Structure 1
Amino acid sequence: MLNRVIFMLVLSAVLTGCGGNHEQSTHARVSDEQRVDVIAAQSIPYQRQFSYTTQLRSSSSIDLKPRISGIVQSILVHDGDPVRRGDLLILLDAKPFRAEVQRLKVRLQSALEAQEQAKREARYVKKLVALKVMSVAAAEQQLFKLRQREVELNKIQSELITAQFNLDSTQIRAPMDGVVSSTDLMKGYYVQSGMTTLMTLMSPHHIQAYFNMDEQIWNYYFSGMKGDSSVRVHLSVAGSSRDYSGRLNVRNDPIHLSKGTLQVRAIFDDELSGVTPGCFRRVTLMAPHVDNRIVIPEKSIRARQNERFVYLVDANRKVVYRKVILGERIHAVRVIKSGLKAGDTVILNAPVKVELGRVIVPQLTETKAWLEHQS
């Protein structure tokens, strides 16, 4: 009798415990369902932004070459230095050219004295001819000497002008405002007239940025443009808060068949402070028209291998699977190219495991409030 009473008490305790666990499990599942936050997919006006890496080029550059041959005495600038027109850049050894100028000056002085002597003799000869003391033929010989002296004087004067020009050319100056590039010279180098490239000067104005644009993007957004367009292109400089603005310049270049891209360029008319032609920079431009795009929070998107998908809540409050194709990311939201439509209810914070077809109690989050919370 005692054993039967003990058995009934144990059985009652076990059943009571099982019933309690079942109630707790049911309560937990209902609680989980109530904490599922959802948000509605939104259709917003969106102007697409494109970003490209480009190497900047100068629309005007000059390769400096010496007018004379000589030995480099000193180099006064370095790569990247900004210069103004007339600034001294390089000095060549001027001693041999200075000596030549001095030698010709001495010859010029001697020629001037010889010319004066010939003029005095010519005047004397003319008097003798007038007095009929000297024949005309003899007088012509004396006058010919005067003309020879004049020719010799003109020759020396021309040689002196050339020698002075060569001496001045030992000072190589900037022919325009620009930025120094490609200075590979060293002191003592021998440079040849018109052959050796001393350095390159690139204009800081009218900088051009070339980049390759996808053919599909070109055809959809920019194909109707020709020449200088109204599309603005922005260039940012690292370490500077200033943003330089240029214009998209459309050329009739052919499409690269193997890459499916078209080369386009942007032109920046203003001087770009802190930007050296030849360097790489990022440029951005906006699409010329606005489209309506579906956007959802980035955190609501899940991944499985190469697929991207979201969990939706249908009209019966059941969880359903939907594959999506992603577009650009805009801060905390993502553009959806396909797979969703405006008003679709997307699970915002999907659990690690979601049971498809499960009925939940969605809690709708206002998009504006969610965005404010993210910022």
Structure 2
Amino acid sequence: MNKHLIAVALAAASLTLVACTEEQVKETSKQQLQVIDVAEVLVKPVQNWHTYTTRIESPEQVALMPRVSGVIEHIAFNEGDNVKQGDLLFKLDERPFLAVVASLEAQIVSAKATLKQAKNEADRALRLTVSKAISAEQAESRTSTLRQREAQVSALQAQLKTAQLDLEFSSVRSPINGVISRANITKGNNVRAGQSILTSIVSDKAMYAYFDVDERTWNSAFENVTAASKQQVIMQKVGQTDFAYQGYINFIDNQINPATGTLRVRAIFNEENNKLRAGSFARIRLASNAITKQVIVPDRAIGTDLKNRFILIVDENNKLQYKLVTVGERYGNLRTITSGLQQGDIIAVNGPARVGPGMPITPNSVTIDSKNVAFTLSPIDNINLIAKQ
């Protein structure tokens, strides 16, 4: 009897121990599930951005050459300075030009004296012709001489104007406002008119950026854009992280380039701080006018599987599932998903860094932060946010 009681007691104890062990295993399994940040995808109205490379150009740039030949006597600027239109830059030896002017002035005085004498003789001949004291042929000869003397004076006066211009051109002045480069030819050297490049000047108050938009993109996104509409653009210089410069389109070419299938477009940037330099490499971004609703996710949520992009979504059993997606435009730390996700989907916001498809998780709900991200260019103040992305 006692033996049977002992056996029953042992069996009951064994069942109790097994049940406790199973409960502990289940509890331990729950505790081992990884806690993962998850969030519902955002759906926002967005504008697509298009990026192009360019070289900054100055609207006005001059390779300064002298209009007359001569020897440089003086350089009147500091290399790299800002200069204004009309500022004296180079002074050539003006003595040869002064001598020519003085010679022509003397010749004009002499020619005017000769002209006066010819006029007097012509007038006298006219009076004598009335009284028939001289022949008509003699009177006509004196009138012809008068016309020759008048032409001689006019020719000398024209030569004098040319010589005075040459004298004026011996002072080489800036034709535009801008920043001057170094002097290519220094004091004491001979320069030739229209051939010797003394220096270069580029205007600095505004800069141009030309870029080529392919025909398909222009027709689909910018067909209604004109130069008068001043389509907003932003620009980033090489080595910078922000698109810190704001401008607008002020020129659209009148035809598509048939060789490349692109349209030449120009943006202008007004820059008072002189931080834009002609010849600099830069990137231009402009937003399409069409606004569409797109799914938005953190860029870090997107994984790469060979050539594919994917996102881990959370199903109703709190398991992660592989979802193939197509990514679109980037906005700061966020990116649009053009296919593969829909409104209401829950995703692993930190991506597949520590987890994988089919893994059960303990979800920790968070919210995707988009308060400092601009998805459209309207209102125009949003451009300041976009420039920082």
Q: What TM-score, normalized by structure 1, do the two folds share?
A: 0.71
CA deviation after TM superposition for structure 1 residue 340, in Å: 1.6
Q: Which residue of structure 1 aligns with residue 291 of structure 2?
A: 290
User: Residues 147-174 of structure 1, C-alpha deviation per residue, up to 9 Å, x if partnerless?
Assistant: 7665554444333332222111111223
Partners in 2 of 1:220 and 1:133 — Cα distance? 94
Is 1:263 aligned with 2:264? yes
Give the secondary-structure state (helix, strand or coil) at the position aligned to 1:30. Answer: helix
Give the secondary-structure state (helix, strand or coil) at the position aligned to 2:231. Answer: strand
Contact 2:318 2:361 in 1 (8 A): yes
Is 1:359 aligned with 2:360? yes
Contact 1:227 1:251 in 2 (8 A): no
Q: Which residue of structure 1 aligns with residue 209 of structure 2?
A: 209
Do the aligned partners of residues 271 and 96 (structure 1) sit closer, same or farther apart at CA in structure 2, a change above 3 Å counting?
same
Do the aligned partners of residues 248 and 121 (structure 1) sit closer, same or farther apart at CA in structure 2, a change above 3 Å counting?
closer
Give the secondary-structure state (helix, strand or coil) at the position aligned to 1:310. Answer: strand
Q: Which residue of structure 2 aligns with residue 11 of structure 1?
A: none
Q: Which residue of structure 2 aligns with residue 231 of structure 1?
A: 231
Partners in 2 of 1:158 and 1:371 — Cα distance? 71
Give the secondary-structure state (helix, strand or coil) at the position aligned to 2:311. Answer: strand
Q: Which moved more, 1:354-363 or 1:133-142?
A: 133-142
AA aligned to 1:66 is: P
AA aligned to 2:264 is: Q
Unaligned runs of 5+ in 2: 1-17, 374-389
Q: Which residue of structure 2 aligns with residue 53 of structure 1?
A: 53
Do the aligned partners of residues 329 and 31 (structure 1) sit closer, same or farther apart at CA in structure 2, a change above 3 Å counting?
farther
Partners in 2 of 1:309 and 1:249 — Cα distance? 41
AA aligned to 1:90 is: F
User: Residues 309-330 of structure 1, C-alpha deviation per residue, up to 9 Å, x if partnerless?
Assistant: 2222112322211222333332
Contact 1:211 1:263 in 2 (8 A): yes
Q: Which residue of structure 2 aligns with residue 344 of structure 1?
A: 345
User: Residues 284-326 of structure 1, C-alpha deviation per residue, up to 9 Å, x if partnerless?
Assistant: 3222122211112233233344443222211232221122233
Q: Which residue of structure 2 aligns with residue 218 of structure 1?
A: 218
Do the aligned partners of residues 93 and 124 (structure 1) sit closer, same or farther apart at CA in structure 2, a change above 3 Å counting?
same
Partners in 2 of 1:189 and 1:150 — Cα distance? 42
Contact 1:228 1:250 in 2 (8 A): no
Is 1:103 aligned with 2:95? no
CA deviation after TM superposition for structure 1 residue 266, in Å: 2.0
Q: Which residue of structure 2 aligns with residue 44 of structure 1?
A: 44
Do the aligned partners of residues 219 and 315 (structure 1) sit closer, same or farther apart at CA in structure 2, a change above 3 Å counting?
farther
Give the secondary-structure state (helix, strand or coil) at the position aligned to 1:157. Answer: helix
CA RMSD of aligned residues (A): 4.7
1:1-375 equivalences in 2 (<5 Å):
27-33=27-33, 35-61=35-61, 64-77=64-77, 81-111=81-111, 152-180=152-180, 184-198=184-198, 202=202, 207-214=207-214, 216-235=216-235, 243-247=245-249, 249-254=251-256, 261-268=262-269, 273-349=274-350, 352-354=353-355, 356-368=357-369
AA aligned to 1:254 is: I
Q: Which residue of structure 1 aligns with residue 385 of structure 2?
A: none
Partners in 1 of 2:57 and 2:93 — Cα distance? 34
Equivalent residues, number: 354
AA aligned to 1:285 is: L
AA aligned to 2:247 is: S
CA deviation after TM superposition for structure 1 residue 255, in Å: 5.5
Partners in 1 of 2:122 and 2:67 — Cα distance? 42
Partners in 1 of 2:317 and 2:353 — Cα distance? 22
Q: What TM-score, normalized by structure 2, do the two folds share?
A: 0.69
Q: Which moved more, 1:163-172 or 1:246-255?
A: 246-255
% identical equivalent positions: 33
Give the secondary-structure state (helix, strand or coil) at the position aligned to 1:96. Answer: helix
Partners in 2 of 1:356 and 1:148 — Cα distance? 106
Do the aligned partners of residues 125 and 324 (structure 1) sit closer, same or farther apart at CA in structure 2, a change above 3 Å counting?
closer
Partners in 1 of 2:243 and 2:327 — Cα distance? 31
Q: Which moved more, 1:175-184 or 1:158-167?
A: 175-184
AA aligned to 1:325 is: T
Unaligned runs of 5+ in 1: 1-17
Q: Which moved more, 1:276-285 or 1:176-185?
A: 176-185
Partners in 1 of 2:172 and 2:208 — Cα distance? 28
CA deviation after TM superposition for structure 1 residue 55, in Å: 1.7
